[in-house]
Amino acid sequence: MPKRYDNPQEILKIMRQTELLRQSAERSPFTGILTLFCYTLWKDYKYSQTKLSDFCGKFTEYNEKYENEPYTELQNRLNDFADWTIEYKEFTEADYPHYKSVVAQNCIREQVRCNNLINDLSTRYILYGMVILMEDGFGKKKLTNFKDKFSDHMDKAGDKCNGKDFMDLWKELVENTGIYIEKPIFE
């Protein structure tokens, strides 16, 4: 027999997840993606503190230049160079469970909006990093290899039980390279 109402504890949990997601949507992609780039360059490509600092400076310049611009030009440049690009994946309400409660439905809509913002910003930031590396002399093969290593670190960092999470990588960067990337603020 189908449920006639949603579990209030489950709705409360969804509301809390939504609030955290809303707070992290604006700043977390920048911190997370830049941390992953620096960590991968440092661990797998032996970038020095100076080279990492230069990379972060260029990353910030790209962010200021393209912040409110469409990134299709960057996608085209990357695709022309490497024969692959970074694609934006849009979430819809169909990707989430359906709830009868109006409050839960509104939370799900807000989660969809926040996740789409995170995906859009993450796509943008990954494109910045890949184009910077392309301009810094990475060849097609080396850039593709970097993309694979970057993806591996991203997959592992997203799953705490599978290794280090993003904050562990961030902490390791600060302690070993002196590179400090501003963390998001949560209330």
Residues with pLDDT less than 50, the chain? 1
pTM: 0.84
Q: What is the pLDDT, as a whole number, of residue 179?
A: 85
Tens digits of per-residue pLDDT, 144-175? Answer: 999 999 998 888 876 655 557 778 888 888 89
What is the 3-class SS of the chain, one letter each residue?
A: CCCCCCCHHHHHHHHHHHHHHHHHHCCHHHHHHHHHHHHHHHHHHCCCHHHHHHHHHHHHHHHHHHCCCCCHHHHHHHHHHHCCCCCCCCCCHHHCCCCCCHHHHHHHHHHHHHHHHHHHHHHHHHHHHHHHHHHCCCCHHHHHHHHHHHHHHHHHHCCHHHCCCHHHHHHHHHHHHCCCCCCCCCC
